[in-house]
Each structure stands twice: as C-alpha cells, then as structure tokens.
Amino acid sequence: MEKNVIVGQSGGPTAAINSSLAGVYRTAKDRGAKKVFGMLHGIQGLLEERYIDLADHIKTELDAELLKRTPAAFLGSCRFKLPEIHEDREVYEKIFSILDKLEIEAFIYIGGNDSMDTIKKLSDYAIITGHPTRFVGCPKTIDNDLALTDHTPGYGSAAKYIGTSMKEIIRDSFCLEYNKGLVTIVEIMGRNAGWLTGAAALSKGEDCEGPDLIYLPELSFDIRKFGEKVQKLLGKKPSVVVAISEGIRTEEGKYVCELGNSVDFVDAFGHKQLSGTAAYLANYIAGELGCKTRAIELSTLQRSASHAASRVDILEAYQVGGAAVKAADEGDSGKMVVLQRLSDDPYQCGTEVKDVHKIANDEKLVPREWVNKEGTYVTNEFISYVRPLIQGDVSPVMVDGIPRHLYRPIELVRR
C-alpha cells in the first residue's frame, strides 16, 4: 500500500464489529497505508464528508485492545442502501470525488447484506469508470444470516451471551413456587433467521435443564398448540422456560406480536415494532392457564454484551478485518471476506475471499433438518455447529469496577 485506506461500519452493531475495525487498522498500517480514515455512520456519513483519522483515536496497542472490548460501532453505523447506478449517478460521483480527495486506495466496509450490496455497487462503478480504488467487504452480523460464510463475526458473542443469560434465567425461574406454576418467555433477536434463538439451547448441560421449548422464525407458529404444550409441561414441572424469536409468524404470515390489539406496539411512524412478542404470549398463557408468567426481552443487550464476548468471535472478527485489507492490497475488488470452517474437531477456521455479487441479498436461514420434528427445539447438529464459536473469554479491562471502552466523543448535534 502507498496511499490511504478508508473503513466504515454499517447495519446493526455487534460486540465484535470494533474488533474488525481494529484488524483493518492494524493490517493497513502494517502494509504501508499512510492514513486510515474512518467514515462516521457509514456511507451516509461519508456523503456528508464526516470522517475521522483513526490515528487520532487508536494511538497505542492498549487503545486497540480496548477497541476490541468496546461494543456498538465505534465509527457509528447507518442503514442506507445505495441506489442503482443508473438511477442516481450523482451520488456515485460525489462518493468518488471524496475518495479522490482523500487519496483512497482501499475502501473497506464492515457490515451485513446491505453493506455487501454497497461494496458491489461501488466496485461496479469503479469498473465502469476505470477507477483504481479497491472495494472489499468485511462480514458482520449477530443474526448469522450472511450467505457463503460459515458464520459471521458478532454471532458467536451474541450466542454466548444468550446461552449464559438463558441459564441464569432458568435457575432464577425455579426459585419461587407458584400455585399454578411459572411460565417464562424469553424473546431473542432474529427477524427471519433462528440462529440466535437456537443458541438458547447452549444453556443445556449437566448442570442445567435448558429451555423447554425453542421457537425459530423459519417455522410457522401455532399459538394454540403452543398453549397446549405449555399446559402439558406445567402438569409435570413447576417452571417452564420458552425461548422465542422476535420474528415468529402465524401460518397466515402475521407476526405474533401483531395479534395483540394493544396500540403500544406501533411507533410514531406507524411502523410495526417487533417488540412485544414475549409480552403478548405471556399474556395469552396467563389468560389461558391462569399461571404466573414473565416476559423477558434480551433487547440490545444481546448485541452489545462485550463484557461477556466470545474469544473465538473477537479473534475471528479481527482476522477478517485484516484479511479484507490484505485482499484489497493484493488487487481484489468487489469481494467479501468469508470464514471457512476447515475442521470441527479440533475447530479450525480460516478466511477466504468471495465475489460479492454472489452474496448480497441472500439470507442464510437455519436448515429444517437442524430443528426437531415438532419444531420446538434445535438438534445436536445445530449445537455442534455453534459450540466452537462461543469458546474462550475476553476479559474486560476493569476500571473502578466497570469495563473500560475506547471512547469517541459524540458530536452533539442540533436538530
């Protein structure tokens, strides 16, 4: 490398997205990049010429270690899909003029499906216009739904958090005895893909029963059958714990949380918020069975729990960041780094580079054969798949009793 690199983060944050950023920075510097810029709030921020020089923030190796232990997107993120090139050339001309001004040799984008779409479009435009900048994508998402990669950075830590929290929730649920029993419904992220919800099964072991039922969004949800199963379980045990995806839908395709008539679950723009699935089901069960219920939404905690991150996840996220820069430096463009599982036992994983045209917009769902026949639990194959991804810890750097993060003062913006 001779000139500069620019990197951005896009889509929902994870506990590993900053580890990828640290990997990009390290490898870019090692390979001779003069400056490494970070676009603030992804491509949307870049269009407004909002960026920082990462050398002003990652000043020492300790800073890099803190960055790996910092949740959420250090550079800020965005949900922004570029228009098709023929629809709006001006946007592309603007982006490329900024890249020229900053002398960008390599553009690295850390994100999910929409981000790979951005890489695709920008690299296509570079080809059309004969522009030398290389565009490489770095995978990221807690949902684990990116095609062509064995798994995505961010998933392992979220899965570890879910397994750990489910275990604590289950232990807590057996403390007090209720006349008609207790049913706890735990709502987990994953609108379409059940990779996260299935991770609830990680709580099961020699020292924990695990959840009683797990409902993934890939299969249609029958609320009546659900009620019957819960009733049957309550006949045998004082506490029943159920893990559900926020995105479970009825046979007719309606989100379960939309079945409630409460206006509490529609936001000011009329957007249906998927929150409230657990609350709705808890209320349904309480009404049907007369038992005590509890609804727990893991919410953003499951994607920002750096204090409980998986070492395998953080290391792999760092590696894919570096691999993206390496690929760009070696001339690759319009590519995404993927993780390739080389073996299971022992677990070994390497990176590869794939054509981003093959990936974008293709969602990887949990295969039907990794869910049991009744659709109420995941199989041992699922658990074996995810188990290696949650191994090892990343001890937080504690300051005064609370984990330390790498901090970038937020612009206070007047609206």
List residues with catalytic annotation: 143
Residue 262, judged by CB atoms within 10 A of its CB (0-12, 13-18, 19+), counts as exposed
Compare residues 48 and 355 and give the one whose CB is closer to a second copy: 48
> What is the spatial distance between Cα 386 and Cα 202, in angstroms, rounded to a whole number?
9
C-alpha dist (Å) from residue 190 to 145, 201, 363, 376, 395? 9, 15, 12, 16, 27
Q: Is 134 helix (H, G, I), strand (E, B) or coil?
A: strand
- The verdict on whether residue 141 carries a ligand-binding annotation is yes
SS3 content of the chain, % helix, strand, coil (to 5): 40, 20, 40
> What is the spatial distance between Cα 203 and Cα 162, in angstroms, rounded to a whole number?
8
Compare residues 213 and 234 and give the one whose CB is closer to a second copy: 234
CB 169 within 8 A of CB 224: no
Q: How far is the CB of 55 from a second copy (least distance, A)?
A: 19
- The verdict on whether residue 145 carries a ligand-binding annotation is no
Compare residues 132 and 287 and give the one whose CB is closer to a second copy: 287
CB 45 within 8 A of CB 78: yes
Compare residues 44 and 118 and give the one whose CB is closer to a second copy: 44
Supply the Cα-derived Rg of the chain in whole angstroms.
22
Q: Is 7 helix (H, G, I), strand (E, B) or coil?
A: strand
CB 192 within 8 A of CB 145: yes
Compare residues 13 and 112 and give the one whose CB is closer to a second copy: 13
Q: How far is the CB of 149 from a second copy (least distance, A)?
A: 20
- The verdict on whether residue 376 carries a ligand-binding annotation is no
Maximum Cα–Cα distance for the chain, whole Å?
Answer: 73
Q: How far is the CB of 29 from a second copy (least distance, A)?
A: 23
Label the pairing between strands 335-343 and 348-355.
antiparallel
- The verdict on whether residue 113 carries a ligand-binding annotation is yes
Compare residues 42 and 334 and give the one whose CB is closer to a second copy: 42
- The verdict on whether residue 142 carries a ligand-binding annotation is yes
Q: How far is the CB of 250 from a second copy (least distance, A)?
A: 19
C-alpha dist (Å) from residue 332 to 108, 323, 353, 392, 396? 11, 11, 9, 33, 35
Q: How far is the CB of 244 from a second copy (least distance, A)?
A: 15
> What is the spatial distance between Cα 109 and Cα 102, in angstroms, rounded to a whole number?
16
- Strand residue runs (E) in 61-117: 104-111
Q: How far is the CB of 22 from a second copy (least distance, A)?
A: 16
Structure tokens at 369: 């054969």
- The verdict on whether residue 12 carries a ligand-binding annotation is yes
> Residue 413 contacts by C-beta under 8 Å, 6 or more apart in sequence?
none
Q: How far is the CB of 109 from a second copy (least distance, A)?
A: 15
- Strand residue runs (E) in 220-347: 239-245, 292-297, 335-343
Compare residues 62 and 128 and give the one whose CB is closer to a second copy: 62
- The residue behind tokens 């808890």 is 282
Binding residue positions for Mg(2+): 113
Binding residues: 12, 113, 141-143, 189-191, 246
